[in-house]
């Protein structure tokens, strides 16, 4: 957390200037710490209230501590099937979206072709469309073809809004890719397919994994689009929405925090590996 600039000799280093810099530096640090506190506050509240034993149907005021929400996480009717549906859709949607997105990213970075700019724009467009418009337009499509709403329509929607994220993620990695490695493989007699599977794919694997995780997280979390196209299916966010009007069982917090802990642990592992690799390099 040391600043490079601070160690460089600067002209006219006055006492006042140095003191000012010191103050400013700490102001920024203190501010940042407060900012992270603000960012974490709702998460802390969710975590704390997952151990609450609410008196009424709503989990808004602290009553007493209990483990039972965690041990009986699926005691609320419908909550387990909602979680399972969300996970199932997230797994399938993230695999399909990452597959499609990786191919598109390869085309966009590796080849100059007519319509590249347009393609870039089409990929970008869903990212700059409010979710409610995505959901509403998909709903009108399905309605006009009398396509029954349910599992399939949720899956279609999730793949649709995940693809762009996958493209962006994989593209970022491909741009910094050293093509000499592929040329070397080809020079050594590997054909295009062997080069792709033995050289390209392993090198972009981290980006593909990142895209998978990102798509998974976005899919699991999605409420708005899903709500429009779900029909009678209930994903976890839809369950929370429905529950929020009549009651908020602490089990909702349990699942929210459980997912948070799993996701953050995975990301921490990733950061740790990156740092170690950076040190080794």
Q: Which of 39/280 has CB closer to another protein? A: 39
Closest distance to another protein from the beta carbon of 198 (Å): 14
Angstrom distance (rounded) from CA 233 to CA 225 = 13
Q: Which of 179/260 has CB closer to another protein? A: 260
Closest distance to another protein from the beta carbon of 128 (Å): 5
Q: Which of 72/110 has CB closer to another protein? A: 110
Beta-carbon contacts of 227 under 8 Å, excluding residues fewer than 6 positions away, are 135, 237, 238, 241
Place of tokens 């003191």: 19
Closest distance to another protein from the beta carbon of 77 (Å): 19
Closest distance to another protein from the beta carbon of 114 (Å): 9
Using alpha carbons, select from 101, 120, 57 the residue that is nearest to residue 246: 57
Q: Which of 16/188 has CB closer to another protein? A: 16
Q: Which of 21/203 has CB closer to another protein? A: 21
Q: What is the DSSP letter of 200?
A: I
Q: Which of 34/184 has CB closer to another protein? A: 34
Closest distance to another protein from the beta carbon of 239 (Å): 9
Angstrom distance (rounded) from CA 149 to CA 200 = 39
- 59 vs 10, 67, 216, 246, CA distance in Å? 56, 15, 28, 11
DSSP 24-77: HHHHHHHHHHHHHHHHHHHHHHHHHHTTB--SSS---S---B-SHHHHTTT-ST
Beta-carbon contacts of 253 under 8 Å, excluding residues fewer than 6 positions away, are 46, 47, 49, 50, 59, 69
Closest distance to another protein from the beta carbon of 28 (Å): 5
Q: How many CB atoms lie under 10 A from the CB of residue 212?
A: 21
Angstrom distance (rounded) from CA 35 to CA 47 = 19
Q: How many CB atoms lie under 10 A from the CB of residue 256?
A: 16
Closest distance to another protein from the beta carbon of 155 (Å): 10
């Amino acid at each position: 957390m040391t600043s490079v600039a601070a160690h460089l000799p600067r002209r006219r280093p006055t006492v006042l200037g140095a003191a000012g810099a010191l103050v400013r530096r700490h102001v920024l640090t203190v501010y940042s710490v407060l900012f992270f506190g603000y960012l974490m506050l709702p998460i802390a509240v969710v975590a704390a209230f997952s151990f609450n034993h609410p008196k009424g149907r709503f989990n808004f005021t602290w009553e007493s501590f209990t483990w039972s929400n965690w041990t009986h996480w699926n005691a609320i009717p419908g909550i387990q099937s909602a979680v399972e549906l969300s996970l199932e859709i997230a797994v399938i949607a993230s695999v399909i979206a990452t597959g499609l997105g990786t191919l598109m990213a390869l085309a966009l970075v590796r080849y100059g072709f007519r319509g590249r700019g347009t393609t870039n724009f089409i990929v970008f467009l869903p990212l700059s469309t409010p979710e409610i418009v995505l959901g509403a337009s998909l709903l009108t499509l399905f309605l006009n073809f009398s396509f029954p709403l349910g599992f399939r329509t949720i899956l279609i929607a999730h793949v649709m809004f995940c693809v762009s994220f996958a493209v962006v993620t994989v593209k970022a990695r491909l741009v910094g890719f050293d093509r000499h490695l592929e040329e070397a493989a080809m020079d050594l007699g590997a054909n295009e397919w062997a080069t792709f599977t033995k050289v390209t794919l392993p090198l972009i694997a981290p980006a593909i994994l990142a895209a998978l995780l990102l798509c998974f997280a976005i899919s699991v979390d999605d409420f708005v689009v899903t709500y429009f196209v779900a029909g009678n299916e209930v994903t976890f966010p839809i369950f929370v929405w429905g529950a929020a009007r009549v009651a908020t069982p602490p089990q909702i917090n349990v699942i929210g925090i459980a997912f948070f802990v799993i996701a953050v642990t995975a990301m921490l592992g990733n950061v740790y590996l990156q740092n170690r690799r950076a040190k080794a390099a």
